Structure 1
Amino acid sequence: MRILLTGGSGMVGQNLQEHPSAAEYEVLAPSSRTLDLNNQQAVVDYIEAKRPDIVIHAAGQVGGIQANMADPVGFLVNNSLMGLHVINAAYQAGIKYCVNLASSCMYPRSAPNPLTEDQILAGELEPTNEGYALAKITATRLCQYIGRVNEELRYITLIPCNLYGRHDKFDPAHSHMIPAVIRKIHEAAKAEASTVEIWGDGEARREFMYVEDLADCVFEVIRMIRGGQEVPDLMNAGLGKDYSINEYYRAIAEVVGFKGSFSHDLTKPVGMRQKLIDSRRLNALGWHASTSLKDGIEKTYQFFLEEYPND
Structure 2
Amino acid sequence: MAGKGRLLLTGGTGMVGRNIRAHPAARDWTVLAPGSAELDLTDAAAVEAFLDRHRPDMVIHAAGRVGGIQANMAHPVAFLDQNLAMGRNLVMAAHRTGVRKLLNLASTCMYPRAAPNPLREEMVLTGELEPTNEGYALAKIVTMRLCDYIRREDEAAQYKTLIPCNLYGLHDKFDPKHSHLVPAIIHKVHEAKVQGLESVEIWGDGTARREFMFAGDLADAVWKAAAGIDTLPGAMNIGLGHDHTINDYYATVAEVVGWTGRFTHDLSKPVGMKQKLCATDRQAAWGWSAPTALRDGIAQTYRHYLEHHAA
Match runs of 1:244-255 below 5 Å: 244-255=245-256
1:100 aligned partner: 104
- 1:64–1:199 distance in 2 versus 1, CA, 3 Å: farther
- In structure 2, do the counterparts of structure 1 residues 269 and 125 end up closer, same or farther at CA, with 3 Å as the change threshold? farther
RMSD (Å), alpha carbons: 1.4
SS of corresponding position for 1:294: helix
Instruction: Give me the whole-angstrom Cα distance separating, in 2, the residues matched to 1:195 and 1:80.
Output: 44
Could you tell me which residue of structure 1 aligns to residue 151 of structure 2?
147
Kept after mapping to 2: 8 A contact 1:203/1:245: yes
Q: Which residue of 1 aligns with 2:213?
A: 209
What one-letter code is carried by the residue in structure 1 that aligns with 2:273? M
Q: Cα deviations across residues 116-164 of structure 1 (Å, max 9, x unaligned)? A: 0000111111222222211111111111111111111001100000011
Change (3 A) 1:138 1:79: same
Q: How does 1:164-175 map to 2 (within 5 A)?
A: 164-175=168-179
SS of the residue corresponding to residue 127 of structure 2 reads: coil
Over 3 Å counting, the alpha-carbon distance change for 1:141 and 1:269 in structure 2 is farther
Query: Who is 1:197 aligned against?
Result: 201
Q: CA deviation at 1:267?
A: 4.2
Moved more, 67-76 or 173-182: 67-76
Structure 2 CA distance for aligned equivalents of residues 41 and 201 of structure 1: 51
63-72 or 107-116: bigger deviation: 63-72
- Matched residue, 1:273: 274
| Partner in structure 1 of residue 242 of structure 2 | 241
Asked whether the 8 Å contact 1:159–1:236 carries over to 2, the reply is yes
- State the aligned residue count: 307
Q: 1:220 aligns with which of 224, 230, 234?
A: 224
2: distance between equivalents of 1:6 and 1:262? 40
> Against the structure 1 CA distance between its residues 231 and 25, is the aligned structure 2 distance closer, same or farther, given a 3 Å change threshold?
same
TM-score, with normalisation over the residues of structure 1? Answer: 0.95
Query: Of 131, 144, 154, which aligns to 2:135?
Result: 131
In 2: Cα distance, 1:21 partner to 1:307 partner: 25
Structure-2 separation of matches of 1:199 and 1:128: 19
CA contact (8 A) 2:189 2:257 kept: yes
- Structure 1: runs of 5+ lacking an equivalent: none
Partner of 1:289: 290
Which amino acid in the other structure matches residue 88 of structure 1?
A: M
Residue 261 of structure 1: aligned partner: 262
From 161, 164, 189, give the equivalent of 1:160.
164
Q: Deviations over 1:31-61 (max 9, x none)?
A: 1110111111111111111111100000012
Instruction: Report whether the alignment pairs 1:3 with 2:7.
Output: yes
**Residues 7 and 29, structure 1, Cα contact 8 Å, conserved in 2:** yes
| Equivalent-residue separation in structure 2 for 1:145 and 1:130 (angstroms) | 22
Please give the secondary structure, in 1, of the residue aligned with 2:8. strand
Taking a change above 3 Å as real, the CA distance of residues 46 and 20 of structure 1, as seen in their structure-2 partners, is: same
Identity %: 58
Residue 57 of structure 1 contacts residue 101 of structure 1 at CA under 8 Å; is this kept in 2?
Answer: yes
The answer to whether the 8 Å contact 1:67/1:173 transfers is no
* Structure 2 residue identity aligned to 1:203: T
> Any idea what the Cα deviations from partners look like across 1:2-39, whole Å, max 9, x if unmatched?
00000000011011111111111100000111011111
CA deviations 1:147-196 (Å, max 9, x no partner) are 11111100110000001111111112222211111111111211112222
How far has the Cα of 1:244 moved from its partner?
1.2
Cα separation, partners in 2 of 1:69 and 1:253, compared to 1, 3 Å: farther
CA deviation string 1:179-232 (max 9, x = no partner): 11111111121111222222333222111110111111011111112xxx4421
The SS at the match of 1:89 is: helix
Measure the CA separation in 2 of the matches of 1:130 and 1:264.
Answer: 30
CA deviations on 1:263-307 (whole Å, 9 max, x unpaired) are 333444333221110111121111111000000000000000011
Distance 1:19 1:77, change over 3 A: same
